[in-house]
Amino acid sequence: MKTKITTFVAAFAFMYGYSQENPAMDSQMKIYSNKIDSILVSEKSKMNVELNEVDKNFKEKKISSEEKQKQRTEIATKYEQIINEKVDGEKGNLEEATKELVKNTVINSHDPKYKIGLGTYNGKLRFFGKKEKTPKDYLHSVRLSMSFIGVNLTSKDEPFRFYSKDSDVKNTVYNSVNFSLRYEDQIGGYESPIFYRLGLGMRNDYYTPKYGKVFSQEDQQLIVNEFTKGDLKKTGLYNIYVYVPVEFRFVLNPKYTEYQGVTYLDNRKSQLSLVTGIYGGVRTRSTIYNKYSTEYSKKIVEREKVMQGVNDFVCGAKLGIGYGGFNLFIQKDFTSTFNNNADLKKKYALQIGVEIVSVDF
């Protein structure tokens, strides 16, 4: 019964929120809210007296557990009817809205459109509800995604040569991670299989030289040479970028649903998609990292800011295919990662990645 009483207050909280978008309802809603508050306080007080009496009789073993539950249900039903009858006398349209929320939220609904919570601020009930999404709402979204990527370095003459043996750095399956927050919306009508994406992301690439060598800076040059300071444990060069992706998603096997007489592409279903796009970004930081040991120390860590040899800007293209939340893609930088001040055989980044973490807001 407490939940049922709570629902009436929550219904008015919702109606009041709606009235903020409809000024004509605002003043009336304030009056209705005060009247309903009075009804709830009064009837709840009476109901608690009767419920306490039932609990007392049960503790004194005057009634069985089954009889206790039966009496509590009868009392709750009685006061629910009283509240509804008093609401009836206030305003017809308000009563209909309130009863509908009571019905959907408390009485017969196992999948309510609204959720209700109690706030501690001033001890008042607050409405934390969120309206149930329709198929139209699922056609646009804000999503946070994370991708794990393997970055290879290629030459300008062989831009798509994966895992080149001539590269100065190791070819690994995973040496980069991307985070992006992006907005997606549909292009065309509700049945269109085409979507666009705009976002903001961060990219962190990590390059490790082959054969136990390290990156170093000498005479205004970024080079790879032998390490002579001790026993090398870990080494690499980090490039961190902030970038903006612009993408298009084409649903290859669209599925549809009908809602209130309108047909929509059902974006809740797992569907096969082709993704293509471009991106551009700016380098925010580059660091050479060396971790090694000597006969005097088991752990020495050096970090050196890269001052030359790395380009400040990056742009490229992306092509991928995905199903549901799983996406496999290739990214190719049009600009070289390393410039003429870097003594490296391969300077252009080619990435193969998988997007496996995605959170919708």
Identity (one letter) of the amino acid at 70?
Answer: K
CATH of the domain at 354: 2.40.160
357 with 307: CB under 8 angstroms? no
Note the pLDDT of residue 158.
86
Shared-domain flag, residues 103 and 192 = no
Shared-domain flag, residues 82 and 225 = no
pTM of the model: 0.62
Note the pLDDT of residue 225.
92
Shared-domain flag, residues 115 and 163 = no
Note the pLDDT of residue 1.
45
Largest CA distance in the chain: 96
Report d(CA 106, CA 94) in Å as an integer: 18
Shared-domain flag, residues 58 and 21 = yes
Report d(CA 266, CA 257) in Å as an integer: 6
Note the pLDDT of residue 361.
67
The three-state secondary structure class of 322 is strand
Is 50 contained in some domain? yes
Note the pLDDT of residue 90.
61
Note the pLDDT of residue 83.
80
Note the pLDDT of residue 244.
97
Shared-domain flag, residues 185 and 295 = yes
Q: Which of 126, 147, 174 is the last residue of a domain?
A: 126
Note the pLDDT of residue 99.
54
**Consecutive 10-residue runs of the chain (361 residues): their mean pLDDT?**
47 49 48 71 85 87 87 87 75 53 46 41 40 85 92 88 83 90 94 96 94 91 92 95 97 93 91 96 96 92 94 96 89 95 93 83 67
Number of structural domains found in the chain: 2
DSSP string, 143-171: EEEEEEEEEEEE-SSSTT-TT-TT-SB--
Q: Which residues have CB under 8 Å from 327's CB, separation 6+?
A: 147, 273, 275, 320, 321, 354, 355
Note the pLDDT of residue 98.
53
Quote the domain boundaries for residue 173. Answer: 137-360
| Region label for 123, one of left (φ > 0), alpha (ψ between -120 and 50) or beta (otherwise) | left
Residues in the chain: 361
